Amino acid sequence: MTKSASQPENLDLFANAKMQFDRALSWIDGIKVGIIDYLINPKRTLHVRFPVHMDDGSIRTFHGFRVLHNRVRGPGKGGIRYHPDVTEAEVTALSAFMTWKTAVVDIPFGGGKGGVVCNPKEMSRDELRRMTRRFVAELGDAIGPHTDIPAPDVYTNQQTMAWIYDTYDLMHPGKNNLAVVTGKPLDIGGSVGRDEATAQGSLFATQHLLKRGVIPGMESLDGVSVAVQGYGNAGATAARLFHEAGARIVAVSDSRGAICNDDGLDPTQVLAHKQESGSVVGLQGATKISNDDVLSYDCDILIPAALECQIRADNAADVKARLIVEAANGPVTGLADEILQDNGVVVLPDIVANSGGVVVSYFEWVQNLEYRQWSLEKVERLLQDKMYKAVDDTVDRWVALKERSDGNGSTATLRDAALVTAIERIASVVVQRDIWP
Ligand code: NAD
């Protein structure tokens, strides 16, 4: 396999997910070919096209889909994305990441993901509400508290989840339907701690990884310099929590540009500036740099928290950080993974690093089924337990894999280790359930 930057790289997210999966498989013996096919490809993809009455009196037909990737370990779980460029391949890859993530963090879910091709920035609240309600009606019983459970993703939020719950509840009267969707507002069954859960989980996972001595000489976050790509839910919260844990945030970016300050940025001030002006750029006391500069910034830890395929074959060699913490899903391509490994850069993979969000979604689901509301202290304690265990399982597996070769002369990465754990857990349930007729 070439690592040359001169070769055009396949940036299809599902192709990259398959590459990760195939790499992990080379460490596993004894899985039958038929099961391998079953584990990588989605169980079901549902396409719906439906009309919506727009504010100007016109009718527009929208295209939405829901991919149920796998549910042998429990109901499908994963967000719904509203975006003009969302594709079936992207959603399929994201649904596969969900299957592996729920397995490696060991919660009783499978993987799913959904999307509607639309531009929410150009739609009114009323149009979004009508589109969401109609989408849920079209999905019918494809979603449900025990079959496939949506959550927020890019450009969907608590309000979207409230509409999903309400529509589903109208269609299924007389039942406790709260658990059909997570990421809801607190007053209708949301969980405390869900908003911060992804970044909080990334912090717990990073702290535990460092304590395990994976990065020699960096046993804690004290004084460690951190660059963050993306300043939304995952990125801005991670910047604040890493700063509060003793790290120095030296560079951050959003879709409009990037800033840096080697003495350290105050993440709360950065967020206030972004909320006021629309971007992190222009903060007093910070120097403007380019978006690409953030990825190659001279720092100890890089947190990509924006989009997929950001660190690729053409820029991976420029990364100076010693550790990448994937708060985003799929930010590092398969070829970039190999270049980073050659250069000694450790990657804490997305299926571990950002799994805090789905872990607290699972806590929300449990609370909903029991008509309970837990305290923040309980949510954070249980989240910490889950993240530490996922890191321990991954590092232990990594140490074991490093003692042998995969047959192709490769050494294992943390991503290989996490995926091997996930695939083995899913395959084991497939075999124990004896799922074939
Ligand atoms: P968000 O929409 O809240 O924030 C995204 C941020 O990325 C915005 O600040 C945007 O300006 C920025 N951005 C977009 N393009 C950029 C570019 N080219 N360079 C720099 N910044 C850019 O989204 P989010 O919820 O924070 O999700 C971000 C990533 O984290 C996604 O990959 C998502 O799938 C993943 N993730 C999020 C959660 C969660 O609970 N929010 C959970 C797991 C994974």
For ligand 1, pick from 11, 102, 113, 154 the residue to mutate: most ligand atoms within 8 Å of CB. 154
Question: What is the rounded distance in angstroms from the CA atom of residue 260 to the CA atom of residue 243?
Answer: 15
Q: Is 229 in the pocket of ligand 1 (CB under 6 A)?
A: yes
Give per-residue pLDDT as tens, 142-175.
999 999 999 999 889 999 999 999 999 999 999 9
Q: Is 150 in the pocket of ligand 1 (CB under 6 A)?
A: no
- Ligand 1 atom nearest 354 alpha carbon: 43
Q: Is 307 in the pocket of ligand 1 (CB under 6 A)?
A: yes
Q: Count Cα neighbours of 321 within 13 Å in the Cβ-side half-sphere.
A: 30
Measured in Å, residue 238 CA sits from the centre of ligand 1 at 11
Q: In the prediction, which pLDDT does 34 show?
A: 84
Reply yes or no on whether 175 is catalytic: no
In terms of DSSP bridges, do strands 257-265 and 287-289 run parallel, antiparallel, or are they unpaired?
A: antiparallel
CA angle 171, 93, 167 (to 5 degrees): 10
Question: What is the rounded distance in angstroms from the CA atom of residue 383 to the CA atom of residue 356?
Answer: 7
- Ligand 1 atom nearest 194 alpha carbon: 40
Place of tokens 């837990």: 374
- Ligand 1 atom nearest 151 alpha carbon: 40
Q: Which of 30, 397, 341, 355 is nearest to 203 (CA)?
A: 355
Q: In the prediction, which pLDDT does 4 show?
A: 47
Q: Which residues pair with 152 in a beta bridge?
A: 80
Q: List CB contacts of 265: < 8 A, sequence separation 6 or more.
A: 239, 249, 250, 251, 252, 259, 283, 286
Q: Which residues pair with 265 in a beta bridge?
A: 249
Q: Which residues pair with 76 in a beta bridge?
A: 148
Percentages (nearest 5) of helix, strand, coil residues in the chain: 45, 20, 35
Joined together, the tokens standing for residue 249 give 């945030």
Joined together, the tokens standing for residue 313 give 């074959």
Q: Is 283 in the pocket of ligand 1 (CB under 6 A)?
A: no
- Cα-to-chain-centroid distance, residue 393: 19
Q: Is 354 in the pocket of ligand 1 (CB under 6 A)?
A: yes
Q: In the prediction, which pLDDT does 18 show?
A: 95
- Ligand 1 atom nearest 310 alpha carbon: 18
Q: Which residues pair with 82 in a beta bridge?
A: 116
Measured in Å, residue 170 CA sits from the centre of ligand 1 at 32
The catalytically annotated residue of 113, 184, 274, 386 is: 113
Q: Where are the beta strands (DSSP E) in 57-165?
A: 59-70, 76-83, 111-117, 148-152
Q: In the prediction, which pLDDT does 1 show?
A: 40
Which amino acid belongs to residue 122?
E
Q: With contact defined as beta carbons under 8 Å apart, do 297 and 250 qualify?
A: yes
> Which sign, positive or negative, has the C-alpha torsion 309, 311, 316, 321?
negative
pTM confidence score: 0.96
Q: In the prediction, which pLDDT does 405 show?
A: 66
Measured in Å, residue 45 CA sits from the centre of ligand 1 at 25
Q: Is 329 in the pocket of ligand 1 (CB under 6 A)?
A: yes
Joined together, the tokens standing for residue 330 give 């799929």
Averaged over successive runs of 10 residues, the pLDDT of the chain (437 residues) comes to 61 95 91 87 97 98 98 97 95 97 98 97 97 98 98 93 98 97 97 96 98 97 98 96 98 96 98 97 98 98 96 98 97 97 98 98 98 97 98 97 74 96 94 80
Which amino acid belongs to residue 347?
V
Which amino acid belongs to residue 287?
T
Question: What is the rounded distance in angstroms from the CA atom of residue 189 to the CA atom of residue 187?
Answer: 6
Q: Is 200 in the pocket of ligand 1 (CB under 6 A)?
A: no
